[in-house]
Structure 1
Amino acid sequence: MPRLLVVEAGAQPPISNDPVEDWVRPPVSRDDLEARVAVLQNRFDSNRVPAIDSSGTLSFGRHSLTVSATQAELMRLLIDRFGDVVHRSEFAQCAALRTLTLNRNSLDLHIMRLRRRLLPVELSIRTVWGRGYMLENAVSAGVVPMTNAI
C-alpha cells in the first residue's frame, strides 16, 4: 500500500528503501501533495502482478473475475511472462492447451474474447505484430477501459 508520511518540523525524516513510501513536511502545497501521491500510486501500480488460482479466478489489485478453463490456461502463460511477449508458438506448445486446435484464427478469437473479459480488471492484452501477445496493466499502458461494450 502506498504511504505518504507527514513529518513534523524538526523531526528526523524516516529512512526507508520502500519505493511506495515518501514523506513531506508541512506546510505542503496542494500541487506538491498531489504530485507525490500520483508518483507513489504509479510506482505501486507498476509493481502489481496479476494472479490466477486453480478455479480460474483472476485477481489484479482490488479486482477479480472468473474466466473459462481455456481462458485460464491462456492467462497462466501471459501472467508467467507479465510485461513480456508470449510468442504464438508458445500457446500451441502449452500442454494444457493441446486439446484445442489452436491455429492462428482460433487463438486470435480466444484472445479477443479474453480482452473483453479483462476490461473491468484493468488488464490489457497487446498484440505485438509478427510475434505474439503481451499482458500489461491497462492503466499504465494508457488503455482506457470501455464502460459500455457494444
Structure 2
Amino acid sequence: MRVLVIEDDTTLGHALQEFLADQGYAVDWLTDGDRVLGALAGQTYDLLLLDLNLPGRGGLDVLRQLRQDGNQVPVLIVTARDGLEDRVAGLDAGADDYVTKPFDLPELAARVRVFGRRRTGQAQPLIEAGALTFDTVGREVRANGQRLSLSVRELSVLEMLMARVGRVVTKRQIVNSLSAWDADFSENAVEVYVYRLRKRLEGTGASIQTVRGFGYMLETQPA
C-alpha cells in the first residue's frame, strides 16, 4: 500500500515516514499543501495522511479540491485541531477518518490497516490463502502453522498476491504500491523478490505463477 503523508512538522513527518515504512508501506512525504494536487496528478496513492495546519494551501482546502475534482483517494486527517466543529468540518469535506494530535503510533497503525483491508475487500485482519495465513497486525505469514521468515519487502509483495489469490497482479501494480520517491524499486527488483518468495513457499502448497506479458498470480492448494 502506498501512502502520502502531508505534514509540515519535520520531526513528526520523518517519524511517520519511518514508522509506516517499517510496517511495510511505501511512504512519500510532503511538507506543504501547495504540492499535494501535483503529486496526486502524477502518482496513485492508497491513502493520504493529511495535516490541516499547513503552509501554503491549507489541508481542508486541499481536501475540498480533491473531492471537487472527483478524486476519491481515502484521506485520514491527522491534526492538532481537536474541536467538535473541526472534526465535523473535516469529515463533511470528505475525510474518511480523523485523528487528533498527540496520538499513539499503534493506534494510527491500526487505523491505516483498516484502510488496507477496505482496499483489498478483507473484513478481518487475517488474509488466508490455502495453507497460508497473513496476520496484517503482527506482519507475519504462517504456512501450516509455521512462521515464514520474510523481509519487509517480501511480506509486502506476498500480501498483495494473497489479497488477490487466483488473480493476476502486474509488476507495475507492485512497483506503484511499494515504491516510495526515495526508494530504488524497479520491475527488476520485483523479479528478485518473487524469486525469493518462490523459494520460501516451497512445500507449502502455494506457488507464484508467472503470467507472461502480465505479471504474477498466487495459486494455492486446499489447506
TM-score by length of 2: 0.37
The number of residue pairs the alignment matches comes to 92
Letter in 2 for 1:106: A
Residue 48 (str. 1) matches residue 125 (str. 2) = no
- Cα 1:68/1:62, change in 2 over 3 Å: same
Query: For 2:188 and 2:201, how far apart are their aligned partners in 1?
Result: 20
Query: For 1:100 and 1:51, how far apart are their aligned partners in 2?
Result: 28
Report the equivalent of 1:35.
none
- Cα 1:100/1:134, change in 2 over 3 Å: farther
- Cα 1:93/1:68, change in 2 over 3 Å: same
Alignment of 1:1-150 (within 5 A): 48=130, 50-53=132-135, 54-94=137-177, 96-98=178-180, 100-137=183-220, 139=221
Q: Secondary structure at the match of 1:121?
A: coil
- Cα 1:97/1:61, change in 2 over 3 Å: farther
Q: Secondary structure at the match of 2:201?
A: helix
**Which of the two has higher C-alpha Rg?**
1
Q: Secondary structure at the match of 1:119?
A: coil
Letter in 2 for 1:88: K
- Cα 1:100/1:78, change in 2 over 3 Å: farther
Following TM superposition, by how much is the alpha carbon of 1:116 offset from its aligned partner in structure 2, in angstroms? 0.5
- Cα 1:49/1:83, change in 2 over 3 Å: farther
Alignment RMSD, CA only? Answer: 2.3
Query: For 2:199 and 2:130, how far apart are their aligned partners in 1?
Result: 21
Query: For 1:86 and 1:125, how far apart are their aligned partners in 2?
Result: 11
Query: For 1:127 and 1:67, how far apart are their aligned partners in 2?
Result: 20
Q: Which runs of 5 or more residues in structure 2 are unaligned? A: 1-128
Q: Deviations over 1:95-143 (max 9, x none)?
A: x443542322211111101110111322111100010000111x57xxx
Letter in 1 for 2:133: A
Q: Secondary structure at the match of 2:184?
A: coil
